[in-house]
Amino acid sequence: MKSDFFKSLTFRSWLYFSSFAVALIATIWVLQLLMMDPYYRSAKEESIQNVADQVKSALQEESPYLDYALNDIAVNNGVCFSIYQLSSTSYKEVISLKDGIGSPCYLNLPSSIFQPLTLATRMAESNETVLTDYVNNLNYPGEMILYTEKLDFHLSNYYLIVNSYVEPVDYAYDIIRSQLILTTLIALSLAALLAYLVSRRMSQPIVRMTESARRLGEGDYAVMFSGSNNFYTELDELADTLNYATGELSRMDELRRDLVANVSHDIKTPLTMIRAYAEMVRDLTGQDPEKREQHLEVIITEANHLDRLVTDMLELSRLQAAALQLNKKVFPFHQPIREIMSVLEGAFLRQDVMHKEEFCEDVSVYGDPVKIAQVVYNFIDNAIKHSQPKTLVTIKTTRRRGGVIRLEVIDNGSGIAAKDLPYIWDRYYRTDKKYQRAAEGSGLGLAIAKGILQAHQAKFGVNSSVGEGSTFWFEMKIASAEDKEK
């Protein structure tokens, strides 16, 4: 696989984080720069109006210290102002200039430039009581604000004209710009660092898991997938799932190996016997009817065993392909059990195992009696095979709540270790790994039983402890009126 750095999780998430930071900061820049000027101007207009209000209230107080008070207002607010009596033809300075800004004050300019009369005319024309202008003073490089308000006392045309700088906007611009540059740098470095850390946290487990998956692909089932150590739930869950899958794969692999070993052994043993006995009949015992009968009997038994093995294998593969044809009908639950008990009577005798039947009142169930008989056969046959002579196998049926009847096959045999319990229903799983010809079986019985019971949607299970014995059980629904009509 080609590893392309520019498509890596690390690079991509770094890129996204950083782009996000850049976009965010760019937005702040644009908003600040675009909005600051109008915002500052309106703030300035408001503050100059405020100065005008202060002047008006000082005038109304008629205090003997009016002159001081007006001076204070000019100095404290960084403005200069005068009050004029204006008409369309003349003007008179009523309260002389109060100056808090010095030479840049627009009101100081020669009357060729600062023309109070124009203001009077404009106000008369526009019918406004307030005028706000932005002007430039040659004595001063920045823009200035010129505020004119008509004062409504003494019935004469009195005007208050206030002047101040707008320039602090530029000053504020500078401060904000340098702050923004600093913020941008810090935010970008933080974004880059954060992106690096986050993406590393995310990509490292993935890289590790990819490596583990590669090893798994090469057949190393001991491999462990480690997630993000509780950092990302999804990655931890992925690691758990992969570990589970690895466990299952490894088990399947072991089963497959067992299968090859078992099947080849299962098939080879009877084949060897068949060949040996057939040769014996041909070469030695052909003329001796008694010996020949014996030897032919062995050949038939072994051929039967082979037949059963192959039938089981076929049946199981059909079950697994879900191609099992169920021939369902209503039948008395005890019927297949009794049939199997009579079939296995000889086996009980041979193994010297005792049996007891504890049946409840019989009920009808709906299913395939032949397949159910196969399950019963497998449970009881296993119980016999795993019991010691003179021990008891109990076949018990009980009615249970929820309209169910249950069969239990209870033995006092070898029992099954807890570690094996979950697997005995798998194909070819044998608790005893060594092949034992004595315990004849294909290792497929319980897998087939499971398939049949699942096809009947029947509950089933086993309770077992080593040395004490096992109880294999399954439950079937009692047939309903509709089942009986089918």
Q: Does 169 bind ligand ADP (CB under 6 A)?
A: no
User: Using CB under 6 A, which residues numbered 352 to 381 contact ligand ADP?
Assistant: 378
User: Residue 371 in contact with residue 452, Cβ under 8 Å?
Assistant: yes
User: Residue 362 in contact with residue 334, Cβ under 8 Å?
Assistant: yes
Q: Does 431 bind ligand ADP (CB under 6 A)?
A: yes
Burial of 336 (C-beta count, 10 Å sphere; 0-12/13-18/19+): buried
- Select from 77, 351, 412, 470 the one that contacts ligand ADP (CB under 6 A): 470
3-state secondary structure of 458: coil
Report which of 367, 364, 343 is spatially closest to residue 355, judged by C-alpha positions: 343
Report which of 63, 305, 55, 33 is spatially closest to residue 173, judged by C-alpha positions: 33
Expressed in percent and rounded to 5, the helix, strand and coil fractions of the chain are: 55, 20, 25
Considering the complex, what minimum distance in angstroms separates the CB of residue 344 from ligand ADP?
Answer: 13
Q: Does 269 bind ligand ADP (CB under 6 A)?
A: no
Long-range contact list for 342-348, CB < 8 A, 24+ apart? 343/377, 344/377, 344/380, 344/381, 344/384, 347/381, 347/384, 348/384, 348/393
Q: How many CB atoms lie within 10 A of CB 244?
A: 11
Considering the complex, what minimum distance in angstroms separates the CB of residue 439 from ligand ADP?
Answer: 6
Considering the complex, what minimum distance in angstroms separates the CB of residue 362 from ligand ADP?
Answer: 25
User: Residue 465 in contact with residue 391, Cβ under 8 Å?
Assistant: no
Q: Which stretch binds ligand ADP (CB under 6 A): 55-63, 118-126, 170-178, 412-420?
A: 412-420
Q: Does 430 bind ligand ADP (CB under 6 A)?
A: yes
Binding pattern to ligand ADP, positions 51-70, x when CB under 6 A? Answer: --------------------
Q: Does 305 bind ligand ADP (CB under 6 A)?
A: no
Structure tokens at 145: 């604000």
Considering the complex, what minimum distance in angstroms separates the CB of residue 470 from ligand ADP?
Answer: 4
What's CA 349's distance to the chain center, in Å? 59
**Termini Cα distance of the chain:** 60
- Select from 367, 443, 451, 453 the one that contacts ligand ADP (CB under 6 A): 443
Q: Does 228 bind ligand ADP (CB under 6 A)?
A: no
Q: CA 161 to CA 147: how far, in whole Å? A: 6
Structure tokens at 443: 């290792």
Q: Does 383 bind ligand ADP (CB under 6 A)?
A: yes
Question: Closest-CB residue for ligand ADP?
Answer: 441
Considering the complex, what minimum distance in angstroms separates the CB of residue 333 from ligand ADP?
Answer: 21
- Select from 149, 315, 368, 411 the one that contacts ligand ADP (CB under 6 A): 411
Q: State how far the alpha carbon of 473 is from the alpha carbons of 26, 335, 399, 405, 455, in Å.
A: 72, 17, 13, 11, 16
Q: Does 157 bind ligand ADP (CB under 6 A)?
A: no
Nearer to ligand ADP, 246 or 412 (CB): 412
Site of tokens 């299968």: 259
Considering the complex, what minimum distance in angstroms separates the CB of residue 286 from ligand ADP?
Answer: 35
Q: Which stretch binds ligand ADP (CB under 6 A): 6-14, 184-192, 356-364, 439-447?
A: 439-447
Relative orientation angle of helices 369-385 and 334-351, to the nearest 10 degrees: 30
Q: Does 270 bind ligand ADP (CB under 6 A)?
A: no
Q: What is the total count of residues that contact ligand ADP (CB under 6 A)?
A: 21
Q: Does 445 bind ligand ADP (CB under 6 A)?
A: yes
Q: CA 477 to CA 463: how far, in whole Å? A: 21
Considering the complex, what minimum distance in angstroms separates the CB of residue 293 from ligand ADP?
Answer: 29
Considering the complex, what minimum distance in angstroms separates the CB of residue 275 from ligand ADP?
Answer: 24
Q: CA 209 to CA 226: how far, in whole Å? A: 7
Nearer to ligand ADP, 98 or 305 (CB): 305
Q: Does 413 bind ligand ADP (CB under 6 A)?
A: yes
Q: Does 382 bind ligand ADP (CB under 6 A)?
A: yes
- Select from 28, 391, 441, 455 the one that contacts ligand ADP (CB under 6 A): 441
Site of tokens 């899958």: 245
Considering the complex, what minimum distance in angstroms separates the CB of residue 393 from ligand ADP?
Answer: 9
Chain contacts with ligand ADP (rule: CB under 6 A): 378, 382-383, 386, 411, 413-414, 416, 424, 429-432, 441-447, 470
